[in-house]
């Protein structure tokens, strides 16, 4: 069963159609880079896949379920790292993870929290308030939060933006399915403006331009120059 099965889904705002009817199918364990210029619709698509938005038209199935009807069951299987960390600045790192562990009903929360903080190299800062953390440290903690409940689908919206060196080292480990990070077997969809990095980390590439998918294929079949050309060709075609 595919993790994502979308049939001609679209998303319209008052300003117009942001995501034009598109169809994608993503199988368990895939590592997919979602590329495109600013305004291409990448974040909107991730928000649909995270169930934060609903399609304006078309049919979306996640893990074979309809998120409109089974939202809670679907969301419990998804981890998200977005532009905002979704962390509480006045809580410590450990308290933040404990809060999310409670939301997910984790019975082994203590062990998971300790392992997660160690995996993202924040064990020594477990009792420090998040407001004292750098941007890179907050992103590392956000990644720990997203993986805490061992999701089957991980959605990363520009996870490398503003990261520190340690955080950048985490991305290949997550995308390789590191057991230490609880990412074993997880399906990953991520966006980035770093095309070379995306091609090195992903196995499959989707290129979006003006709300459409203009390329879907193996990462090994394209290079940064061709992806850049697709950006321009897609805009011209639109």
The number of CA neighbours under 13 Å toward the Cβ of 71 is 8
DSSP string covering 59-92: EEEETTB-TTTSHHHHHTTEEEE-SS----TTSB
- The answer to the question of residue 174 being in a domain is no
Position 144 in a domain: no
Based on the structure, what is the number of domains in the chain? Answer: 1
Please indicate, yes or no, if residue 154 is contained in any of the structural domains: no
pTM score > 0.85 for this model? yes
pLDDT at 236: 43
Could you list the pLDDT tens digit for every one of the 238 residues in the chain? 999 999 999 999 988 899 999 999 999 999 999 999 999 999 999 999 999 999 999 999 999 999 999 999 999 999 999 888 889 999 999 999 999 999 999 988 999 999 999 988 999 999 999 999 998 899 899 999 999 999 999 999 988 776 677 777 777 887 777 777 777 889 999 999 999 989 999 999 999 999 999 999 999 999 999 999 999 865 444 4
In this structure, what is the dihedral angle of CA atoms 172, 176, 179, 184, given to the nearest 10 degrees? 130
40: containing domain: 1-77+186-238
Is the residue at 66 inside a domain?
A: yes
Q: What is the pLDDT of residue 198?
A: 92
In a domain, 105, yes or no: no
* Domain assignment present for 233: yes
Q: Is residue 206 part of a domain?
A: yes
Which CATH number do you get for residue 211?
Answer: 3.40.50.300
- Residue 234 CA to residue 40 CA, distance in Å, equals 10
Q: What is the pLDDT of residue 235?
A: 46
Does a structural domain hold residue 1? yes
């Amino acid at each position: 069963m595919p993790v994502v099965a979308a049939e001609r889904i679209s998303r319209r705002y008052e300003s117009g159609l942001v995501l034009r009817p598109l169809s994608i199918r993503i199988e368990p364990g895939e590592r997919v880079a979602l590329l495109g210029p600013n305004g291409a619709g990448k974040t909107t698509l991730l928000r649909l896949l995270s169930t934060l938005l609903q399609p304006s038209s078309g049919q979306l199935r996640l893990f074979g379920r309809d998120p409109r009807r089974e939202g809670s069951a679907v969301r419990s299987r998804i981890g998200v790292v977005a532009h905002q960390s979704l962390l509480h600045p006045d809580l410590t790192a450990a308290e933040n993870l404990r809060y999310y562990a409670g939301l997910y009903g984790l019975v082994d929360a203590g062990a998971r929290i300790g392992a997660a903080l160690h995996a993202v190299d924040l064990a020594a800062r477990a009792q420090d308030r998040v407001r004292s953390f750098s941007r890179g440290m907050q992103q590392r903690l956000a990644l720990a939060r997203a993986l805490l409940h061992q999701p089957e689908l991980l959605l990363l919206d520009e996870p490398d933006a503003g990261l520190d060196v340690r955080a950048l080292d985490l991305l290949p480990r997550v995308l390789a399915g590191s057991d230490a990070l609880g990412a074993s077997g997880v399906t990953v969809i991520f966006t980035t403006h770093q095309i070379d990095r995306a091609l090195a980390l992903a196995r499959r590439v989707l290129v979006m331009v003006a709300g459409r998918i203009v390329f879907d294929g193996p990462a090994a079949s394209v290079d940064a120059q061709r992806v850049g050309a697709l950006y321009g060709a897609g805009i011209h075609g639109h």
